Chains A and B, each alone.
Chain A
Amino acid sequence: MLILGAMGLIAAFGGIGLWLAARVRRRPEEIRVLLTALALLDTDIYWGATPLPEAFSGIANRVEGPWRSFFAEVKERIEMGEAAWPAWKETIARQTGAFALKPEDWLIVLDIGKGLGRSDQQEQHKQLEMVQKQLALLREQVVIWAEKQAKMWAYMGFLVGCASAIFLI
């Protein structure tokens, strides 16, 4: 019974650790998907002069995970008559919880919305290119960070489980 209890404890803490590790690993993945979305947006604006709602609709259909509903909501808001910047800002405020991104990531994401749609194609292209470079750099750092953090949480979960089991026994 005692052994079963100890194993259950280890499994529970281990599971929490693995869950946290998986969440940490989602961060670089979400940045990667955002980079893809921005590349699509840039193409739509620069080569197609596609209006934002149409471009966001296309992106929402082509990306996975939480960004899908993010872009779908921004599109919906603009179609309802909101300007792009408040729509972007409000959507971030509403959907932050669905992402594994950190506040410093959101600062960059927030900046994307500030100039959206407010200038000509060249200017939009420059802004999107700049933010893509920023995100690419961030992602490089985040990939290394996430790998370390994920390992740490995975090990720590099981270790804390073991320690608790020993302590209780």
Chain B
Amino acid sequence: MPLHYVNSRKPARSVSSSNGDDGAVEAGFGWDEFLGWFGGRPGQILARTEVAPVQVEEIRLRVNQPLLLRLTGEDLFLDRTGQPAPAQDAYRVELSDLAETMDRLTQSSLYAAAENLRQGFLTLPGGHRVGITGEAVMKQGSLQTIKHITGLNFRLAQDIRALGLDILPHLISSERRLHHTIILSAPRAGKTTLLRALIRWLSNGVPELGLPGQAVGVVDERGELAGLWQGVPAYDLGRRTDVLGSCPKALGMGMLIRSMGPEVVAVDEVGHAEDVAAIAEALRSGVSILSTAHAGSLEEARCRPILRDLLVGGIFERAVLLSRRRGPGTVESVLDLARGQEVRPWGRVANR
């Protein structure tokens, strides 16, 4: 992905929530940051809703389907006035809403978002991510782009300060070195949020744990982890963190190790064979690895060839399993992979 693409975009100015017949309404409840991304009616509806963005995990726009907000443990359909409504009374998203939203998301520059479209999502400033569905255009067996876009899923990134502090002692060795750690969960369970928090703790250090700050290198392939905005991370990833944005993990890890001398290398969502090779290579240089992967459980992860190599091959020493049982970020267990047992019985640990 061209680096400047993610770095140069800024949201269009917020849509006016005036529509002539309903009168003008000021965007409230903290939606100002987001409204510029939405075209057509959805922007006006969100400007009027009383649901605060901090409660919202996802905003789904599907053509001819109701406008949907996914909250923790609850789905809300919104009507034209922004009020929660039954599905049959909710505002139905139109094709023109999606087209206008895509224009705003890409600043009318689809060509600049080509690489993102190939991956099926766009990253927005602040680390928010927009998943895209439509009709795939294939060329010689590989995805060229997505056309006739029919669905957009805005995933709003959260940044929770205290998260991860309680599991950190179990991820640190007696020499104050981070165990090679992988965070596993199904989608929407808070992997990236926890990873971001751990990076910050490691980078800043935690005097209470006797943990000094460490140089952390982050390869942010999807732009979601740091939320790069004009080259500056939108999220605080700590005082000793170097971010390499929009770079493939396999390439970026080696680059960071050679150029920035990190003690910890953090990457999000490993899953390709080349990622495994890059992690194995990174281990040889003596850095600690902090990573995430999609898997609902350890068993599920072990069934996947790529993750199995990472888990069974003795690369990772700790696995943190997350779920949504008590909301995103519920730590189900922290496993010592060498011993094959939990570090200690785990209840709800992550604080939100």
Contacts and interface: CB of A to CB of B under 8 A. Distances in A.
A49 B39 contact: no
B5 A49 contact: yes
Given A81-B13, A84-B103, A54 B8 contact: yes
A124 B108 contact: no
Nearest to B100: A83
B111 A83 contact: no
A118 interface: yes
B107 A53 contact: yes
Given A51-B109, A51-B112, A120-B110, A83 B13 contact: no
B114 A51 contact: no
A124 B111 contact: yes
B4 A117 contact: no
B192 interface: no
B108 A48 contact: no
A119 B110 contact: yes
A50 interface: yes
A112 to B, nearest CB: 13
B107 to A, nearest CB: 5
Nearest to A117: B108
B106 A117 contact: yes
Contacts of B104: 81
A51 B116 CA distance: 13
Given A49-B5, A54-B8, A121 B15 contact: no
A69 to B, nearest CB: 20
B239 interface: no
Nearest to A52: B109
A78 B108 CA distance: 7
A135 interface: no
Contact of B107 (A79, A119, A124): A79
B2 A48 contact: yes
B292 interface: no
A154 interface: no
A157 B108 CA distance: 48
Interface in B296-346: none
A121 B100 contact: no
A83 B110 contact: no
A121 B104 CA distance: 19
Contacts of A34: none
Interface string B98-139: 011001101111111010000000000000000000000000
Interface of B: 2, 4-5, 8-10, 12-13, 15, 36, 39, 99-100, 103-104, 106-112, 114, 144-145
Which 5 A/B pairs are nearest by Cβ-Cβ distance? A81-B12, A84-B108, A51-B109, A117-B108, A83-B103
Given A50-B109, A81-B13, A84-B109, 17 more contacts: A49-B2, A49-B5, A51-B4, A51-B8, A51-B109, A80-B13, A81-B103, A82-B108, A83-B100, A84-B103, A84-B108, A117-B108, A117-B110, A118-B108, A118-B110, A119-B110, A121-B114
